[in-house]
């Protein structure tokens, strides 16, 4: 297959799939999701992504229709049905199908979606520019929920400003980007916001921390300000779709560019980790 869509056991090309209008994703974005790359038909960091997926579902009191091990097996089976060795894997669970009502439907089975499509890993040589936006999202950003309208609006504002993506902040405190975590290198240290309820605990962020410690780079998990970010030796983002990219400008002002050697060591180690984990 050139791509694959899955909905509660039905499989077809994504463009041929349909879902019920009463799926609660349509009305409330009532669900959670996760995403990762697959290379050589091997999903990258699948166990960590499943951990986060089930943790997010539990926080929303959604019962995933498959046990964790069964879902892992299903994803590994589905990825082999797509005719491409490099794919982006996306899956989500919604609370179920029921007439529109805000309160949870009683006795309704959750709906499981999977979307797979060919997509090579992005080059880590790519750089980004950021546009800062006040973070007005709700206070459950640690849940990888389908409710992404604030992210969508912020991302469009960034595009309209000519930037690559949006950078969220709450007052002076930097939180994250519209679809990535954000970090700084300062004085040879890797500094990343703590995983409280204001940011998503990114799997790529987790890998970055592990890689930095392996390389002997001190790691600090603490809040940092917009002023600290602007003065940092390097600014970088991380996500499952882009691993780790360098930021060159924020709101039209140049940032970073003073510790490219450390950043390159981190990027090289991340890419090597991905290739080793997905080699056959």
Strand-pairing partners, residue 111, are 94
Q: How far apart are CA 130 and CA 178, in angstroms?
A: 10
CA–CA distance, 30 with 185 (Å, rounded to integer): 37
Q: Phi and psi at residue 111, in whole multiples of 5°?
A: -105, 130
- CA-closest candidate to residue 270, choices 223, 203, 187: 203
Task: Tell me which H or E stretch contains 175.
Answer: strand 173-177
Alpha-carbon distance 21 to 267, whole Å?
A: 43
The answer to whether 141 and 176 have CB atoms below 8 angstroms apart is yes
Please confirm, yes or no, whether 144 is among the known catalytic residues.
Answer: yes
Please check whether residue 164 is in contact with residue 129, taking contact to mean a CB–CB distance below 8 angstroms. Answer: yes
Q: Which of 10, 59, 81, 144 is catalytic?
A: 144
Residue 181 bridge partners (DSSP): 238
CA-CA distances (angstroms) from residue 215 to 204, 219, 236, 264?
Answer: 16, 11, 17, 12
The answer to whether 157 and 151 have CB atoms below 8 angstroms apart is no
> Residue 96: which of 28, 149, 180, 42 has the closest Cα?
28
**Annotated catalytic sites, by residue?**
144
């Amino acid at each position: 297959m050139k791509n694959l869509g899955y909905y509660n056991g039905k499989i077809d090309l994504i463009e041929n799939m349909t879902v019920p209008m009463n799926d609660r994703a349509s009305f409330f974005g009532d669900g959670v999701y996760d995403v990762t790359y697959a290379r050589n038909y091997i999903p990258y960091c699948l166990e960590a992504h499943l951990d986060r997926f089930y943790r997010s579902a539990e926080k929303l009191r959604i019962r995933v229709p498959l046990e964790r091990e069964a879902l892992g097996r299903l994803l590994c089976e589905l990825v082999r049905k797509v005719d491409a060795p490099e794919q982006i894997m996306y899956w989500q669970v919604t609370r179920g199908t029921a007439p529109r009502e805000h309160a949870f439907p009683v006795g309704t089975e959750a709906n499981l979606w999977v979307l797979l499509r060919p997509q090579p890993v992005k080059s880590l040589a790519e750089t980004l520019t950021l546009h800062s936006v006040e973070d007005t999202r709700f206070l459950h950003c640690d849940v990888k929920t389908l409710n992404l309208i604030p992210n969508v609006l912020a991302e469009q504002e960034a595009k309209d400003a000519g930037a690559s993506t949006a950078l969220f902040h709450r007052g002076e405190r930097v939180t994250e980007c519209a679809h990535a975590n954000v970090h700084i290198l300062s004085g040879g240290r890797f500094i990343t916001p703590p995983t409280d309820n204001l940011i998503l605990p990114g799997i790529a962020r987790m890998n970055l921390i592990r890689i930095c410690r392996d390389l002997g780079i001190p790691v600090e998990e603490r809040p940092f300000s917009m002023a600290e970010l602007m003065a940092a030796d390097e600014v970088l983002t991380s996500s499952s779709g882009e691993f780790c990219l360098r930021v060159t400008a924020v709101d039209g002002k140049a940032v970073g560019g003073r510790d490219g050697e450390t950043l390159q060591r981190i990027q090289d180690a991340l890419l090597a980790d991905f290739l080793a984990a997905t080699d056959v």
